[in-house]
Amino acid sequence: MSYYKMGEFSKRTGLSIQTLRLWDSNGKLKPAYVTEGKHRYYSEEQLNRILGIKLDKQEKRTIGYARVSSNKQKDDLIRQVENLKTYMIARGYQFEIIEDIGSGINYNKKGLNELINKITNREVEKIVILNKDRLLRFGFELIENLCKKYEVEIEIIDNTEKSEEQELVEDLVQIITVFSCKLQGKKANKAKKMIKELLEDDLK
């Protein structure tokens, strides 16, 4: 599959570079991938879509989905993306990466919505995630059923089962973290203290 720099993609589609940058920022059309030097590349599939050329089933893409809970975990997000790329390149997948920042119990994340749109538009053949809770902590089965309906495979790199105690602690931390963001003052500090105690108990 061919890839095009922003300038070449602009010429072929008739869309201005300013429009492409705007669509990138609002999520309407994200580049297939962006280099470390911030150079945007668009795929042949995206070109065909813009030009109104119907995609064959064989041209469906593999999506690598990476998520962290907050902006403070961006280093972890970078590691996830690199691990996904290494895994998919080794298997010869034609892929793109969707990065997301938000709680695993937040169903309205930008990246998750983009992924769902691609699934329902029949643009996806396979989704690759590092582990199950990167997609959703609660409600994974909803996405799983949606994928089955649209014949999309979910491939989990690390399928190691966690203990019930570990899963319970992680779930409680996620719930308290979400609600603590809506609190202020002493209540917020109390919530943070609860999170710290849960994590410390889990490490014992």
Residues 36 and 18 in one domain: yes
Going edge to edge, which strands form the sheet with 33-34? 3-5, 40-43, 33-34
CATH number at residue 87: 3.40.50.1390
Evaluate the CA torsion angle 171, 125, 61, 24 in order and state its sign: negative
Token pair in block for residue 79: 């590691």
pLDDT at 67 over 80: yes
pTM, whole model, 2 decimals? Answer: 0.55
pLDDT in tens, 25-55: 998 899 998 888 888 999 888 888 888 754 4
Place of tokens 């643009």: 123
- Which member of 69, 70, 163, 180 is catalytic? 69
Residue 69 annotated among the catalytic residues of the structure: yes
Q: Which domain holds residue 41?
A: 1-56
Same structural domain for residues 69 and 94? yes
27-36, 93-102, 153-162, 188-197, range with the lowest pLDDT: 188-197
Q: Are residues 97 and 6 in the same domain?
A: no
Strands 3-5 and 61-68: unpaired
